[in-house]
Chains A and B, each alone.
Chain A
Amino acid sequence: MSGFFKSSIGRKVAMALSAFFLMFFLLIHITINLISVFSEDTFNTVSHFMGTNPLIQFGMQPVLIFGVVFHFVLGFVLELKNRKAVGVSYARNNGGANSTWMSRNMVYSGAAILAFIVLHFIDFWIPEINTKYIIGDMSGTMEGVEGFRYYEELKHKFEDPFRVGAYVIAFVFLALHLLHGFTSAFQSMGVTAGRKKGLQNLGKAYSIIIPLGFIFIALYHHFNH
């Protein structure tokens, strides 16, 4: 079995498995974010639970971080190996004649998402970790705010038009990444994705609706406060 993951196909499968995990995580993430549009209180309660529950903090969170790092590191490694496999490049190459832009530029859409993830960590994750584990304040409250602080912080973050702009652009890249990635991951797992219309449509729906949802939430908070 260890030989399997050293083979080219094994690496494809590892890439696909990490991608499935990330796509599942995005579903959870958007569900929680959507709550912020409907109910401030519920959003606060759920955020506090996610932020302080030990199973999530010390069980799920490390798995997630590992998943993200694993995915982009392997993505970059495979890209480098593939470039080496090409050697001399063509003087004239008409890639558009037989493939989509998305499929040829996964590493660039991926790099854009990575840049976003870094920004996102600086925005939300590092301050949270700092408050909770460095300062040691697990109360989830903040001076000058009644009840939990999460919704207040969210509102505050989305005041800045540049941040909102960056988020919107990043999610466009996520959509491009997924428009190829969704069916690609199934194909890597041995499912003949190209012949299954239902799967292709599900992929298109996921790749467009999820990023659009994140964009909607960011714009909603920007224009509503």
Chain B
Amino acid sequence: MNLTLKIWRQKGPQDKGRMVDYKVNDISEHMSFLEMMDVLNEQLVNSGDEPVAFDHDCREGICGMCSLYINGQAHGPDRGITTCQLHMRMFNDGDTITIEPFRAKAFPVIKDLVIDRMSFERIQQAGGYISVNTSGNTQDANNIPISKHAADEAMDAAACIGCGACVATCKNSSAMLFVGAKVSQFALLPQGQIEAAERVLNMVAQMDLEGFGNCTNIGACEIECPKGISLDNIARMNRELMKASLK
């Protein structure tokens, strides 16, 4: 199929940036979206132009690097996927596709479609861990009884790959689905409960410091999340913070 692409080009963090139109021809519907981007970049390199910078790593939906806001949706028009898992069969011959970086003050553009998601790392560093001794005398985790329900919920929360689609899609650029998942995956398990109060206080404080917006329970994040992280995690984080603040 033949496509027109409207792509955000920005030379660097200081550049103002603008949308630029490109044409690509003979795209197979079996290609992934990123392969289509590869075709475009090859075309640009061959004609001596600067290729479009975009993030990717695993190309199988597990690393969370590939971002892209495609036709007004994070990771494009399909559900429960990352951009590398998006197929060109979701589009039609002759389509115009708008491709933008994930937008949020806390995700500044580095170049073209590449954004800086270090704000997520700093939130993780503020409390997204448990302090256990791993120097060889670690206790077998199965020695601690955990209910199936809690284990399942913790596992579901831990599925978050930190891609940032929740922030990108949120009209408030709120990171609460991400932080809710990271708080929950530990809060649900006995190993995480010891540091639960300071964890949620520190992670929420860091989230606010990074300049993410305030959740208004719109729920778009849950729908666009490639890993199906549920809004329940935000409610749990709210409860955890209330509990921690009352202490």
A positions within 8 Å CB-CB of B:
1, 3-4, 7-13, 78, 81-82, 84-95, 97-100, 103-104, 106, 180, 183-184, 187-195
Given contacts A8-B214, A86-B104, contact A92 B98 (CB under 8 A): yes
B185 within 8 A of A: no
Given contacts A90-B100, A99-B218, A184-B217, contact A85 B105 (CB under 8 A): yes
- Which residue of chain B lies nearest to A191 when distances are taken between CB atoms in the complex? B235
Please name all residues of chain B whose beta carbon is closer than 8 Å to the beta carbon of A85 when the two chains form the complex: 104-106, 172-174, 211-214
Please name all residues of chain B whose beta carbon is closer than 8 Å to the beta carbon of A193 when the two chains form the complex: 217, 235
Please name all residues of chain B whose beta carbon is closer than 8 Å to the beta carbon of A88 when the two chains form the complex: 103
Query: How many positions in chain B have a CB within 8 Å of any CB in the partner chain?
Result: 50
Which residue of A86, A189, A191 is within 8 Å of B103 (Cβ)? Answer: A86
In the A-B complex, list the 4 residue pairs whose CB atoms are closest, starting with the nearest: A94-B72, A85-B213, A190-B239, A82-B172
Contact residues, B169-193 vs A (CB, 8 A): 169, 171-174, 176
Chain B CB count within 10 A is highest, among A13, A87, A188, A195, for A87
Given contacts A12-B214, A98-B169, A106-B216, contact A87 B207 (CB under 8 A): no
Chain B CB count within 10 A is highest, among A95, A97, A183, A189, for A97
8 contacts between A and B (CB under 8 A): A7-B204, A8-B174, A8-B213, A82-B173, A85-B106, A183-B217, A184-B217, A194-B232
- The total of Cβ contacts below 8 Å across the A-B interface reads 148
Stretch among B26-34, B42-50, B57-65, B219-227 lining the A interface: B219-227
> Once the chains bind, are B173 and A86 in contact (CB under 8 Å)?
yes
Given contacts A9-B237, A187-B235, A194-B231, contact A90 B103 (CB under 8 A): yes
B125 within 8 A of A: no
Given contacts A1-B246, A85-B172, contact A13 B207 (CB under 8 A): no
> Once the chains bind, are A82 and B72 in contact (CB under 8 Å)?
no
Please name all residues of chain B whose beta carbon is closer than 8 Å to the beta carbon of A92 when the two chains form the complex: 6, 71-72, 98, 100
What's the Cα separation between A42 and B72 when bound, in Å?
56
Please name all residues of chain B whose beta carbon is closer than 8 Å to the beta carbon of A189 when the two chains form the complex: 238
> Once the chains bind, are A13 and B231 in contact (CB under 8 Å)?
no
> Once the chains bind, are A90 and B69 in contact (CB under 8 Å)?
yes
B234 within 8 A of A: yes
> Once the chains bind, are A7 and B205 in contact (CB under 8 Å)?
yes
Please name all residues of chain B whose beta carbon is closer than 8 Å to the beta carbon of A12 when the two chains form the complex: 214-216, 238
State the Cβ distance, A90 to closest chain B Cβ, in Å. 6
State the Cβ distance, A194 to closest chain B Cβ, in Å. 5
